[in-house]
Amino acid sequence: MNLKKTHIRLIFSSHLTVEENYAFEEHVRQTCGANVVPVCYVNHNEFSLPQIYNRAIDEHHKDDGIMVFCHNDIVFKTWDWGKKLLAKFNNTDYQIIGVAGTTNMPDTGRWWDNRSKMVGTVEHTNGLRTWVSEYCKPFGGVKETCLIDGLFMAVDTSNIEHRFDEDFNGFHFYDVSFCIPNWLDGVNIGVVHDIRILHKSIGMTNQEWENNRQFFVHKYGADLPIDI
């Protein structure tokens, strides 16, 4: 029987200043509404996100807790988001939960190709204006997906089949290459609607992203497309 989840370790990689990192940690503590310990890994491009996140699992995994891997340029718009999140893990059979994702992974590796298959809601800002990306109608509980966006990934690390794939370099496709093998091996992945996040980024692709996309398609092409 799985232990009740009572606390959260929130992991983030950062190249920002000590003051900026502390401000984000304080924001996490003030909004979470649950027992949370933010953990900052200072990283000036020395390590990929898979390397950072696997190190965090080694150092901070607890059977009675969950881990949240997230960007440090997010703002939690929902108070007591941690309390809501722990309730989801304790009352459902999901092991990986996010706020945005999809039920479809095409053979291109571009999971947003079919917007009608996307799930969740995320607010974005470019510093000048703010808008809401609402990928589906509001829903209760957890909606099944095959992957979630890496801006916010809550994981029961006691009940996954695969860790983060360190064959993927840098800061792209760490989320896809984590979720897809876990989903293929029976790990339940889903998205919630009652935790709202503002992402202070519009999300851009680059050559590193393209290289990782091609590598992902090569590695998992036999299992694609996926459509729940």
Reported as a single tens digit per residue, the pLDDT across 105-145 is 999 999 988 989 999 999 998 888 898 989 999 999 999 99
* Residue 199 DSSP class: E
Residue 174 is which amino acid?
Y
**66 in Cβ contact with 89 (< 8 Å):** yes
Q: Which of 180, 106, 97 is nearest to 144 (CA)?
A: 97
| Sequence spans of domains, the chain | 7-227
What was the pLDDT predicted at 128?
Answer: 85
Reported as half-sphere exposure (CB side, CA atoms, 13 A), residue 106 has a value of 10
Q: What is the pLDDT of residues 174-222, one digit of tens each?
A: 999 999 999 999 999 999 999 999 999 876 778 888 999 999 999 999 9
Pull the structure tokens for residue 99. Answer: 């706020």
pTM listed for this prediction: 0.96
Select from 3.40.640.10, 3.90.550.10, 3.40.50.970, 3.40.630.40 the CATH code of 7-227: 3.90.550.10
**Residue 38, class by beta-carbon neighbours within 10 Å (0-12 exposed, 13-18 middle, 19+ buried)?**
buried
